[in-house]
Structures are given as structure tokens and as C-alpha cells.
Amino acid sequence: MNDLETRMAATPGSEGSVDWESLRARLIERAEGDRLIELAYERHDTPFGTLLVVSGGQGVLRIALDAEQEEDVLGDLSRRVSPRIARTGRDVIAEARVQLDSYFRGDLQHFDLPLDWQLTRGFRREVLHETAAIPYGSTASYAEMAERAGSPRAVRAAGSALATNPLPIVVPCHRVLRSDGAVGSYLGGTSMKEALLAMERERTND
């Protein structure tokens, strides 16, 4: 919650005070209608903890695997994209939450969401585009991703792009392994990466 939202949500203790939560909701709705809010976000509970889902002008912009880092994530987006951020429901966020739930249940194998790619560019964006094309239940190596993105020798740069993937799960960087087959690092932790891969293997073998 940012400073403005904190002040708006702080209800005075005296009787007959303003219903600040209702006022906040009306102000947010009006700001959305007037297109004054550029970034919207919601928290979303999953089997791996609470995620933070952020939408931009073109679609889902950011998925943070640890909502406890909310202040840092929103602060970074405020600097890089826009300070006009609010916690509010948008259709694209609602749809992202539905699809995330379906994925974690093992029922969804391909996300169909509009994505906002403005947090990445150049070779890094190419790596992530190629990563998004890795089929459910399949894996690739960092070297393969560098080659598919057009720079076979840029394995380290490919690894950096995946380590800073702003759209984990939806852009499945967990499907990229080291050349020796080891799981490697992951934004949500090695155990989460292993669990996601195991779930996908189980579903594709059913």
C-alpha cells in the first residue's frame, strides 16, 4: 500500500467519521474512468504464497512472486514507468488471476493474456519471447535460449534476462535449465521451480 492509500485507508476513531474505504473506492473508480491511473495492481494468493499482479497500458506488466516485496516492486515501477499506481481491479488482472489459479491446479497449459513488455527490450526481450514459446512440460537450456534469441554466445546475457524476468509463470522461465540438466536458480526459489516442473511433467504424462 502506498502512502496515499495508507492515509486514505486510515479511518479516524471518532463516531460519525467519514467512511474512508468507501471514499477511496469511489475516488479510485473515478480516477480509472478519467484514465488518471496508469498502473493497477492486486495481490493474489497461490499455493506458493501471495503474488503481486500489476497491469500497464497494454496488459499484464509485472508479476512479483513475493508480495512482501510490494513496496520495493511498486517503488521500482513508479520510477521506471509511472507514479500513478493504485490497487484496483481491472479486467486484465481479474483474468490473470483466473488463469493463474487454473495453472496452479494443473488445468491450464497455455496462458492467453495481453502482456505489456515495456520493462524489457532488445536481446532480453527476445529471450523472453522465446521463453514464452517453450511448451508446457518441456524444458530448454540457457544456451538454447541464447541461440533461439539470435546470439548463441550470449549465454550469460540470456541467463540475466531470465533472472530478471518481470512476468514469471506466464513467461515460464522455470522451464529453462542449466546445460547439465540441473534446475538452476529461480526468482521464487529452487523448490518452487522444481515443484512447477514436477507438476507439468505429471500433467503431460497423464
For 149-173, how does the pLDDT look when each residue is reduced to its tens digit (9 = 90+)?
Answer: 999 999 999 999 999 999 999 999 9
59 — alpha (psi -120 to 50), left (phi > 0) or beta? left
Q: What percent of the chain has pLDDT over 70?
A: 83
Which residue, 73, 104, 135, sits at the end of a domain? Answer: 104
pTM of this prediction?
0.82
- Tell me the pLDDT tens digit for each residue of 118-140: 999 999 999 999 999 999 999 99
If asked whether residues 152 and 93 sit together in one domain, one would say no
If asked whether residues 80 and 135 sit together in one domain, one would say no
Count of structural domains within the chain: 2
If asked whether residues 182 and 136 sit together in one domain, one would say yes
* Cβ density class 110-145: b for 16+ within 10 Å, e for less: ebebebbbebbeebbebbbebbbebebeebbbbbbb
If asked whether residues 35 and 71 sit together in one domain, one would say yes
Say if strands 176-177 and 39-46 run parallel, antiparallel, or are unpaired. Answer: unpaired
Whether residue 14 is predicted with pLDDT greater than 50 in this model: the reply is: no
pLDDT of residue 142: 96
Which residues share a beta bridge with 49?
46
If asked whether residues 98 and 39 sit together in one domain, one would say yes
Dist CA 194 CA 187 (whole Å):
12
pLDDT of residue 13: 47
| CATH number, domain containing residue 160 | 1.10.10.10
Query: Which amino acids are annotated catalytic?
Result: 173
Contacts of 45 (CB under 8 A, 6+ apart): 51
> Among 99, 193, 177, 172, which Cα is nearest to 130's?
172
Is 110 domain-assigned?
no
If asked whether residues 84 and 38 sit together in one domain, one would say yes
Is 116 domain-assigned?
no
- Structural domain harbouring 67: 3-104
| CATH number, domain containing residue 60 | 3.30.160
Say if strands 140-141 and 85-87 run parallel, antiparallel, or are unpaired. Answer: unpaired
Alpha helices, H only, the chain: 3-9, 20-33, 70-80, 91-104, 122-132, 142-148, 155-163, 190-205
Is 113 domain-assigned?
no
